[in-house]
Structure 1
């Protein structure tokens, strides 16, 4: 029989059609176990270049490579059955030219099975976005605070205040017109995020933006309390798994040093039992 009971994964056109509907749920993932946990609850799972900071201990996302993204993309793909996977294009993999962007985007999708790529930048990246979309590569755009440009932005500052709002609005309009199927709005003022959401015809996905966006994304390690190097204002901690893990590790260390572990239930006797 050819019919299956598997749920069809959403594709970029499905995500675009969610504009103004039930908010899209997006989380990052970098490993198979986390992908399995988030799969049933998310519309989109993003293999983010935040992996550089969260998993590899880098100070920013600028040191993330194509090889790192492919490694983690493959791991996440193994854990997904329901959600759509989007993968970040790392710094330096798409800015040089449209052709460079196409080669690297095609490689990311072919080697990981991702349904789309995400790249940072507004109006200046519109031509590249259009080039990719016309060649069969769906693009999620990313405007506002773009972490790969942190050095030129002067740090992780709120974007879109005062006269700067016009720039961010122009960026959002440009990527929508270029064919992006959705756009991440990062760390922009609430009022501007609301205005952009009303002004463009593709879903906006907020991170430090507004509840009126068409969806929300967080770094999974942030919302689970696993990454404690810093705690952005826009992150809501839904658990403190880092503290729980530390307590468990401490208990294990105490048991080993006191010879309380392994106990009778964890060792094997001479009989034929387990």
Structure 2
């Protein structure tokens, strides 16, 4: 069962930053998820939103800004004064950190993305020797087709806002190793989850922050949980392992 750190350990550090990725590793993440966009001068950077507004002191679309402009903004103080001065990391800096740390990578390419931009991302993953440890995912099937063209050796994952009629055929066509829907879809449509897992396609729902849902989600046959609560999930997995090794037994016939 994968413990997937959503944008790093984003409950304790600003999302999609090097401190969040380092914290995820320390907290026991087995897969670190992050988002990649490309600046106006073709530098891949790690940020979720289309704009700089929510998570930095900048504004405007990421793809309209130069890397120098993105590098100049503060990406930490919105989360806490303790993280003032933290920057939007480049993909290169993120790969450098995680190469040594050990977990696998769940790299989401955000649209819009051209074939040359996708090729740059793929080439960087290969240059850092991380192809075998990386799954490249996207909500956009067109981007996954570009990934297959640029780097057929890389595993691919499809994100879904909801299960739809074309979900399983699309997963087959794109030859993905995982399909990652919302937690509501996993809980509400176990038949589709079963169909995907029977095909060898792992299901890792997002964003699994409600601990009360974890038992039901794991019973559905999922491959992992994408969560902001990395350390809590590490502890919960450990507790489940202990219960399997040392099950709670009945006291039998009572006193005497």
TM-score (normalised: structure 1): 0.49
Corresponding residue for residue 216 of structure 1: 225
Of the three residues 7, 17, 33, the one matched with 1:46 is 33
Corresponding residue for residue 31 of structure 1: 17
Q: Is the 8 A contact 1:33 1:79 kept in 2?
A: no
Q: Write out aligned runs for 1:49-60 (5 A).
A: 51-53=47-49, 56-58=52-54
CA distance in 2, matches of 1:75, 1:55: 21
Corresponding residue for residue 195 of structure 1: 191
Task: Tell me the CA shift for residue 45 of structure 1.
Answer: 0.5
Q: Is the 8 A contact 1:126 1:174 kept in 2?
A: no
Task: Tell me the CA shift for residue 26 of structure 1.
Answer: 0.5
The residue matched to 1:197 in structure 2 has which SS?
helix
CA distance in 2, matches of 1:90, 1:72: 15
CA distance in 2, matches of 1:104, 1:188: 34
Of the three residues 118, 136, 139, the one matched with 1:117 is 136
Change (3 A) 1:78 1:102: closer
Task: Tell me the CA shift for residue 82 of structure 1.
Answer: 1.6
CA distance in 1, matches of 2:177, 2:62: 25
CA distance in 1, matches of 2:50, 2:29: 20
- Does residue 206 (structure 1) correspond to residue 205 (structure 2)? The answer is yes
Segments of 5+ residues of structure 2 without an aligned counterpart are 9-15, 37-45, 72-87, 209-215, 236-256
Deviations 1:17-55 (A, max 9, x none): xxxxxx211012223322222114112101225834499
CA distance in 2, matches of 1:133, 1:193: 32
Segments of 5+ residues of structure 1 without an aligned counterpart are 1-22, 146-158, 225-235, 239-274
CA distance in 2, matches of 1:126, 1:85: 16
Change (3 A) 1:125 1:76: closer
Q: Write out aligned runs for 1:64-75 (5 A).
A: 64-65=62-63, 71-75=89-93
The residue matched to 1:71 in structure 2 has which SS?
coil
Of the three residues 78, 88, 97, the one matched with 1:79 is 97
Of the three residues 96, 105, 110, the one matched with 1:90 is 110
Higher relative contact order (CA 8 A, sep 6+): 2
Deviations 1:237-258 (A, max 9, x none): x9xxxxxxxxxxxxxxxxxxxx
Deviations 1:122-148 (A, max 9, x none): 5x66644543553x23222212x2xxx
Q: Which of structures 1 and 2 has the bigger CA Rg?
A: 1
TM-score (normalised: structure 2): 0.52
- Does residue 171 (structure 1) correspond to residue 167 (structure 2)? The answer is yes
CA distance in 2, matches of 1:187, 1:32: 27
Deviations 1:31-80 (A, max 9, x none): 33222221141121012258344994349xx9444967993433333433
CA distance in 1, matches of 2:29, 2:4: 6
Query: For the aligned residues, what is the CA RMSD?
Result: 4.0
Q: Is the 8 A contact 2:207 2:226 kept in 1?
A: no
